[in-house]
């Protein structure tokens, strides 16, 4: 026998054992490591998918558990088996940018006359735009239908209609989309009108699974690569530019601010500044909350400053030369208010600065911090005006 013979009953028995003895004891008993990329989700809990399948084989009549070396894990084997048995499998916490690219390139989409349908790519790009802007990860079913349906009408091939339930169900099965419902009850994207009826009845909130959302939100490099994969793989006979512009991804999808033209960077900077201004306009409660123990801040303002910095410390007297980056490929910079919010500083890019950790420490507690602040105000104002004024006239 092989893993293809594993039954739903056997998997359920393995899950019960896992719950009873705990993760560490379960993995130790069967000789498996923690799942790196795929986790089985059942009754709101996550399980190591390959270990569960290996143990489940031992629950088949007359069979022994399978060791990790006896079969391969991943989407093509364990993922496909568990989904065929009606279980939900999602990408795990150790997802990397490269792994995400491969998942996107292998999406199973409907093809008509050789051209891939754009249901799933458009839905993902919509969600990527939300993650890039730092908007809530999970969205109501009504809002998802309205916004994604409008994108289908405007940028789809004309055959997609407004069947938003189809890509959401498909992406859920692919492990990329989370729904706040029992994962085992979410129907397949294929077949009759069952998917539509299920979504209409349950009205689930949904969005990218947390690891994908975090990667897209935190790493411009990952965002650029993910958008590039979707465009290159699925928009084979369609121009994605209007859609990317609509979603604010045309400029944001660049791998690095250094790869943007000056005018493109200036346009994106100005767009973010306007977003920060709108965030605070006529929001008296927010203005009052700025000096509280947990200040409210504009994410657009922060991203504008990072874009303006081009990945380098904005202190003109900085003596460092940091070449290293974070694990997500982002520059090691900290965005700070030159005048602290609690002391009346503005949450405005012109009054904010991107600093390396050393300059940030000097600005915060160094003996020369008073003189440094004067220079930082001048540097931030100069760089701000340079980008904003370049688009005037």
Q: Which of 31, 65, 94 is the last residue of a domain?
A: 94
The pairing of strands 177-179 and 206-208 is: antiparallel
Q: Are residues 103 and 85 in the same domain?
A: no
Q: Are residues 88 and 105 in the same domain?
A: no
pLDDT at 392 (0 to 100): 56
pLDDT at 331 (0 to 100): 73
Q: Are residues 144 and 227 in the same domain?
A: yes
H helices present in the chain, as ranges: 8-21, 23-30, 49-57, 80-84, 97-105, 119-133, 141-155, 165-173, 194-202, 210-218, 220-234, 241-247, 262-280, 284-289, 299-309, 357-365, 369-389
The phi and psi torsions of 323 (rounded to 5 degrees) equal -100, -20
Residue 254 inside a domain? The answer is: no
Question: Which 8-state DSSP code applies to residue 366?
Answer: -
Q: Are residues 49 and 176 in the same domain?
A: no
Q: Which domain range does residue 134 map to?
A: 98-247
The phi and psi torsions of 274 (rounded to 5 degrees) equal -65, -40
Q: Are residues 319 and 295 in the same domain?
A: yes
Q: Which of 183, 216, 247 is the last residue of a domain?
A: 247
Q: Which of 195, 220, 247 is the last residue of a domain?
A: 247
Q: What is the pLDDT along the chain (393 residues), one digit of tens a residue?
A: 578 889 999 999 999 999 999 999 999 999 998 887 778 888 878 899 999 999 999 999 999 999 988 887 666 578 778 888 888 887 766 677 777 888 888 888 887 777 888 989 999 999 999 999 889 989 999 999 999 999 999 888 876 667 898 899 888 878 788 888 766 577 776 655 567 888 888 898 999 988 889 889 888 888 888 898 898 888 877 888 889 888 988 765 544 555 556 766 777 788 778 877 776 664 554 444 444 444 567 777 887 888 888 888 999 988 776 666 665 456 788 888 887 766 555 678 888 999 998 999 999 889 988 889 889 999 999 989 888 887 554
User: What predicted TM-score, i.e. pTM, was given to this entire model?
Assistant: 0.54
- Domain tally for the chain? 3
Q: Which residues, at least 6 apart from 239, have a Cβ–Cβ distance to it below 8 Å? A: none
pLDDT at 286 (0 to 100): 45
pLDDT at 280 (0 to 100): 66
Give CA–CA dist 35/51, Å, rounded.
8
Q: Are residues 102 and 88 in the same domain?
A: no
DSSP code string of 159-186: S-TT-THHHHHHHHHTT-EEESS-GGGS
C-alpha closest to that of 40 among 59, 29, 54, 28: 54
C-alpha angle with apex 115: 106 to 74, nearest 5 degrees? Answer: 10
Give CA–CA dist 148/38, Å, rounded.
27
Q: Are residues 206 and 170 in the same domain?
A: yes
Give CA–CA dist 94/260, Å, rounded.
30
């Amino acid at each position: 026998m092989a893993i293809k013979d594993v039954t739903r009953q056997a998997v359920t028995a393995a899950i019960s054992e896992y719950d009873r003895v705990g993760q560490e004891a379960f993995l130790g008993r069967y000789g498996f490591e923690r799942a790196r990329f795929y986790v089985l989700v059942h009754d709101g809990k996550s399980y190591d998918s390959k270990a569960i399948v290996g143990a489940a084989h031992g629950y088949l009549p007359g069979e022994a558990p399978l060791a990790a070396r006896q079969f391969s894990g991943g989407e093509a084997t364990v993922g496909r088996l568990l989904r065929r048995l009606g279980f939900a499998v999602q990408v795990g916490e150790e997802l990397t940018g490269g792994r995400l690219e491969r998942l996107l390139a292998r999406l199973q989409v409907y093809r008509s006359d050789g051209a891939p349908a754009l249901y799933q790519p458009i839905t993902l790009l919509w969600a990527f735009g939300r993650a890039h802007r730092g908007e809530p990860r999970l969205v109501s079913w009504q809002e998802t239908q309205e916004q994604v349906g409008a994108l289908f009408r405007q940028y789809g091939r004309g055959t997609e209609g407004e069947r938003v339930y189809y890509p959401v169900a498909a992406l859920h099965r692919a492990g990329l989309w989370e729904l706040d419902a029992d994962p085992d009850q979410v129907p397949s994207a294929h077949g009759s009108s069952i998917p539509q009826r299920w979504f209409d009845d349950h009205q689930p909130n949904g969005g990218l699974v947390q690891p994908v959302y975090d990667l897209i939100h935190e790493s411009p490099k990952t965002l650029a690569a993910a958008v590039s994969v979707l465009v290159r793989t699925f928009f084979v006979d369609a121009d994605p530019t209007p859609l990317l512009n609509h979603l604010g991804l045309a400029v944001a999808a660049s791998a690095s601010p250094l790869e943007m033209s000056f005018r493109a960077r200036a346009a994106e900077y100005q767009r973010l500044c306007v977003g920060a201004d709108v965030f605070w306009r006529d929001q008296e409660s927010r203005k009052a909350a700025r000096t509280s123990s947990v200040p409210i801040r504009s994410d657009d303002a922060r991203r504008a400053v990072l874009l303006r910095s081009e990945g380098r410390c904005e202190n003109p007297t900085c003596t460092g030369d940091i070449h290293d980056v974070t694990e997500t490929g982002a520059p090691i910079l900290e965005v700070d208010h030159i005048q602290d919010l609690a002391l009346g500083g503005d949450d405005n890019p012109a009054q904010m600065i991107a600093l390396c950790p050393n300059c940030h420490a000097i600005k915060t507690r160094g003996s020369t911090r008073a003189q440094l602040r004067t220079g930082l105000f001048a540097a931030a104002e100069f760089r701000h005006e340079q980008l904003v004024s370049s688009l005037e006239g």
